[in-house]
């Protein structure tokens, strides 16, 4: 059936055609339809098959030259050399293939974890599932901020509006309704005119409702034009681009050096043209870090997987780099710095301050007065409420603030389930962050009442009477002052306060007047205590040079009380002051302010911009639709995984799966660790490559026989630049990672200190290796090459720990690296002490040879440590 047919068909006929009902599908029927219709996703085009990934490992001019040389060697009868080189090239290709394949799979796994969710009716009750499992016939629940998972017909709505810019390009929200007429639906109407339909990829910007799924996957409107918003784009990070450029220039330099080696070798060793040619090309293969960007992707992806275990899901790989630069974290208060487990502790009604016993969502405890005196305020709190509390687990579905109002009513003998049945909701004005109020309309004893809850100070402005001892009385200025003082008293004690009011509707009122001329009933004050682990996390931020800023919609006194408890020090600024202060004045003052209270989501953008103008790298948290601009504006936008809307998630760089501030700090720590590991890897790889280039170049210029031949260079590249190098990517985070100040965004991974370190270590490896080559050369060319071959491998393995020790990483902290080193050493010894030695033109070494090499390694290690300390003290940087 076409979309226009779904739009114009009656709901009764649609339910019949799709063989479903308002209760939704059964789980068994949904599973059957998933097999029939397929997953609700856009089919990916252009995915590279595994065999092509493998063949691309040979897509290099240097490899082609080497393969051509193999053919020549076969023609002239050098079959052993040719076979060994082919085997090593294949092994290198396999390693490169595994790296790229794992990187792709790791990123796919991240996409899956960051996938959208949908709430559907299954067996008559709501259930959250992956959006890809939605099938035609499902009934889905729509809420503000959620993304629509499929093309659906609206069957129930309250103030429902969606933004359809992804399909129509029109940013103005479209009002949706259930009723259809021939003039509004059917025919060849444009998508924007189908007000009874909601479409996949669009976003609910207001209200809530339910809808019947009519089309999924490629049958949706967005599927037909093959445009689906990707929830986890795989960007090439600036670091990868930087390293790719660096690798390109290193490659050009290496080719020049190889040409010099080849031409010089021909002049000095006229009878060894083929061997010199092999060595020059093999040197290029070994020295050019073609796999560097791929290995960086693996390191980033595996690091991101580790972050998931610490409740932080990074959606874009480049964000990992930015995390290490973060200088300011702007955090919401509720649920992030605090537990988000609300409990009503005080009630103010009819001039009485009532204490409430008990904690959590179980209705344990009671009141310090007779509950009958509180009936009206408890009833408003329960009816003006979209949350539910599971009676079995006492788990909460919905806003914790609303959930604790249900518990408060239960303590007074009022059950929300019974109240909803007795006094059904017949209208509403949903909460929004501008009004800071929510209104519901109920029929009670044949009359219509508007029940309102919201911020006390703003709600009080809409009231002209107050509820006193069971009746409405005039609300004078003195009464207002008493109520506001009580509100401030509660807020100063870190209690969150809501005001409650009502209006009897006489008839003829519009929604705009539901919140006018209200009767103020009272206050309910609830506590949301700080998370125990947050105070320590904030202390760690201070030690790491990161400033923590609280941004909240609560009152200034509440924010200050929580800030004092968490040791967040600095000036405070209100939303009203933000509106009057100029951008220039805010920029001058921004570094002194640590608490922003009573702010709107739009204010967050102003805060972020001012901080960024001061040179800060800003992380900002958010969960609502209106938070999206601030999350986009921040260097790191952090969405809440539990309370966050799809809009906030889409705008974010990172998602907190537990909504906990401590997880942000853990993510920053992991981000710094990942960047450290990348620096270790680059340092290790490039110093080894430069060492190999210098060994061949210096040896050739000195007129010596080639210190290392082609198969040996290729083997070193496989053994030392393979497993151990990749294993560096999973090194644990350094103990002092959060004791260092944030690095600057402009800092390049190849800092002056690292560049000096790489060059000096490459030169040292060259000197030590050629020294051992000279010692062995006094016996025979084979012995000299064997000692050079073994010394180079051992030097690179020793170099591993030298690099790691600079980051205070203990020797045995990475079991993957230990296994990689043991395997590499085992393979190397196998080449020297087994019949494989014939293929590599080496021979077994005796005790004397090992003593020479041990002495050389010790001397090299001592010199390297001295050079590292000198470079660090000279440059004041981590080398």
| Helix (H), strand (E) counts: the chain | 32, 26
Buried b (16+ CB within 10 A) or exposed e, 840-866: bbbbebeeebeebbeebbeebbeebee
Q: How far apart are CA 427 and CA 443, in angstroms?
A: 10
**Which token pair is 205?**
């910007």
The Cβ-side half-sphere exposure at 673, using a 13 Å CA radius, reads: 23
SS3 of residue 768 by DSSP: helix
Q: CB of 646 within 8 A of CB of 231?
A: no
SS3 of residue 244 by DSSP: helix
CA geometry: angle at 4 spanning 3 and 9, to 5°? 100
CA 611 to chain centre: 22
DSSP string, 124-155: TEEEEEEGGG--TT-EEEEETTPBP-SEEEEE
β-pair partners for 618 = 328
The radius of gyration of the chain from alpha carbons, rounded to an integer in Å, stands at 34
- Residue 795, judged by CB atoms within 10 A of its CB (0-12, 13-18, 19+), counts as buried
Evaluated on CA atoms 321, 322, 328, 333, the torsion sign reads negative
Q: CB of 688 within 8 A of CB of 680?
A: no
**Helices 661-701 and 752-777 sit at what angle, rounded to 10 degrees?**
40
CA quadruple 180, 186, 192, 198: dihedral, nearest 10? 60
Any idea how long the chain is? 879
591 a catalytic residue: no
Q: How far apart are the first and last CA of the chain?
A: 65
Q: How far apart are CA 300 and CA 292, in angstroms?
A: 12
- Residue 36, judged by CB atoms within 10 A of its CB (0-12, 13-18, 19+), counts as exposed
**Which token pair is 523?**
């206050």
DSSP string, 256-297: HHHHHHHHHHHHH-GGGHHHHHHHHHHHHHHHS-TTHHHHHH
Q: CB of 258 within 8 A of CB of 280?
A: yes
CA distance to 55, 437, 545, per residue, from 539 (Å): 51, 36, 10
Evaluated on CA atoms 758, 761, 767, 768, the torsion sign reads negative
Q: Which of 332, 479, 623, 676 is catalytic?
A: 332
Q: Where are the alpha helices (DSSP H) in 702-780?
A: 710-720, 723-727, 752-777
Q: CB of 619 within 8 A of CB of 326?
A: yes
507: left (phi over 0), alpha (psi -120 to 50) or beta: left
Q: What is the 3-state secondary structure (H, E, C) of 158-213?
A: EEEEEECHHHHCCCCCEECCCCCCCCCCCCCCCHHHCCCEECCCCEEEEEEEEEEE
Evaluated on CA atoms 108, 110, 116, 118, the torsion sign reads positive
Buried b (16+ CB within 10 A) or exposed e, 562-585: bbeebebeeebbbbebbeebeeee
**Helices 238-268 and 292-309 sit at what angle, rounded to 10 degrees?**
150
In 3D, which of 437, 438, 440, 408 has the Cα closest to residue 424? 440
- Per DSSP, 338 falls in state B
Catalytic residues: 332
């Amino acid at each position: 059936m076409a979309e226009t047919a779904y739009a114009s068909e009656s709901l009764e006929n649609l339910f019949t055609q799709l063989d479903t009902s308002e209760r939704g599908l059964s789980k068994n029927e949904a599973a059957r339809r998933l097999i029939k219709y397929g997953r609700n996703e856009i089919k990916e085009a252009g995915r590279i098959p595994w065999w092509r990934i493998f063949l691309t490992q040979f897509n290099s001019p240097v490899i082609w030259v080497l393969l051509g040389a193999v053919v020549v060697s076969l023609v002239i009868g050098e079959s052993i050399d040719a076979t060994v080189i082919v085997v090593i090239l294949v092994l290198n290709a396999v390693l490169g293939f595994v790296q790229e394949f794992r990187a792709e799979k790791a990123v796919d796994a991240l996409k899956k974890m960051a996938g959208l969710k949908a709430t559907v009716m299954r067996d008559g009750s709501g259930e959250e599932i992956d959006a890809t499992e939605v099938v035609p016939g499902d009934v889905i629940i729509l809420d503000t901020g959620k993304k629509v998972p499929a093309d659906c017909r609206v069957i129930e709505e309250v103030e429902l509006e969606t933004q359809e810019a992804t399909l129509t390009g029109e940013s103005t929200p479209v009002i949706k309704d259930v009723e259809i007429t021939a003039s509004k639906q059917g025919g060849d109407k444009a998508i924007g005119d189908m007000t009874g339909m909601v479409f996949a990829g669009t976003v609910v910007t207001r209200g809530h409702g339910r809808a019947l799924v009519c089309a999924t996957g490629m049958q949706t409107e967005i599927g037909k034009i093959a445009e689906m918003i990707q929830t986890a784009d795989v960007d090439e990070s600036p670091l990868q681009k930087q390293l790719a450029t660096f690798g390109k220039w290193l490659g050009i330099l290496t080719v020049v050096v190889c040409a010099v080696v080849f031409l010089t070798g021909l002049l000095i060793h006229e009878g060894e043209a083929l061997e010199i040619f092999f060595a020059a090309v093999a040197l290029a293969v070994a020295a050019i870090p073609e796999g560097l960007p791929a290995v960086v992707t693996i390191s980033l992806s595996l690091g991101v997987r580790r972050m998931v275990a610490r409740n932080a899901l990074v959606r874009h790989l480049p964000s990992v780099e930015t995390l290490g630069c973060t200088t300011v974290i702007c955090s919401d208060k509720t649920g992030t710095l605090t537990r988000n487990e609300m409990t009503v502790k005080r009630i103010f009604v009819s001039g009485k301050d009532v204490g409430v016993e008990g904690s959590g969502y179980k209705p344990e405890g009671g009141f310090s007065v007779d509950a009958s005196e509180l009936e009206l305020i408890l009833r408003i709190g329960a009816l003006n409420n979209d949350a539910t509390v599971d009676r079995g687990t006492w788990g909460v579905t919905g806003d914790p603030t609303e959930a604790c109002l249900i518990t408060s009513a239960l303590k007074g003998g009022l059950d929300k389930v019974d109240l909803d049945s007795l006094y059904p909701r017949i209208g509403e004005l949903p909460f929004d962050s501008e009004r800071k109020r929510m209104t519901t309309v109920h029929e009670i004893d044949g009359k219509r009442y508007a029940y309102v809850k919201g911020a006390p100070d703003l709600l009080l402005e809409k009231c002209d009477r107050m509820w006193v001892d069971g009746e409405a009385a005039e609300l004078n200025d003195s009464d207002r002052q008493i109520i506001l003082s009580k509100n401030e008293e509660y807020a100063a004690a870190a209690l969150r306060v809501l005001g409650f009011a009502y209006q009897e509707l006489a008839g003829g009122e519009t929604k705009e007047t539901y919140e006018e001329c209200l009767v103020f009933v009272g206050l309910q004050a609830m506590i949301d205590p700080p998370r125990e682990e947050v105070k320590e996390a904030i202390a760690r931020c201070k030690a790491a040079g990161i400033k923590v800023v609280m941004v909240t919609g609560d009152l200034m006194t509440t924010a200050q009380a929580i800030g004092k408890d968490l040791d967040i020090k600095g000036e405070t600024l209100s939303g009203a002051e933000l509106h009057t202060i100029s951008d220039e004045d805010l920029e001058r003052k921004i570094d002194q302010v640590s608490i922003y209270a009573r702010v709107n989501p739009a204010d967050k953008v102003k805060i972020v911009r001012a901080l960024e103008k001061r040179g800060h790298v800003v992380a900002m948290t958010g969960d609502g639709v209106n938070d999206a601009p601030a999350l986009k504006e921040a260097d790191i936008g952090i969405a809440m995984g539990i309370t966050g809307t799809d809009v906030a998630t889409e705008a974010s760089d990172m998602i907190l799966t537990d909504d906990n501030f401590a997880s942000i700090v853990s993510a920053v720590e992991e981000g710094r660790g990942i960047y450290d590991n990348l620096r270790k890897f680059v340092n290790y790889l490039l110093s080894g490559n430069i060492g190999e280039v210098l060994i061949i170049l210096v040896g050739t210029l000195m007129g010596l026989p080639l210190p290392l031949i082609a198969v040996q260079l290729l083997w070193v590249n496989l053994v030392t630049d393979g497993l151990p190098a990749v294993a560096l990517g999973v090194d644990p985070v350094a103990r002092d990672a959060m004791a260092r100040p944030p690095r600057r965004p402009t800092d390049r991974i190849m800092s002056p200190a690292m560049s000096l370190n790489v060059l000096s270590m490459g030169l040292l490896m060259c000197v030590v290796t050629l020294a051992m080559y000279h010692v062995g050369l006094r016996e025979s060319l084979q012995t000299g090459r064997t000692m050079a071959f073994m010394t180079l491998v051992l030097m690179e393995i020793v170099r591993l720990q030298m690099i790691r020790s600079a980051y205070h990483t203990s020797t045995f902290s990475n079991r993957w690296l230990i296994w990689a080193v043991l395997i590499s050493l085992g393979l190397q010894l196998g080449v020297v002490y087994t019949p494989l030695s014939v293929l590599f033109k080496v021979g077994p070494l005796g005790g004397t040879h090992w003593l020479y090499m041990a002495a050389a390694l010790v001397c090299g290690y001592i010199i390297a440590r001295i050079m590292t300390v000198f470079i660090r003290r000279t440059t004041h940087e981590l080398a």
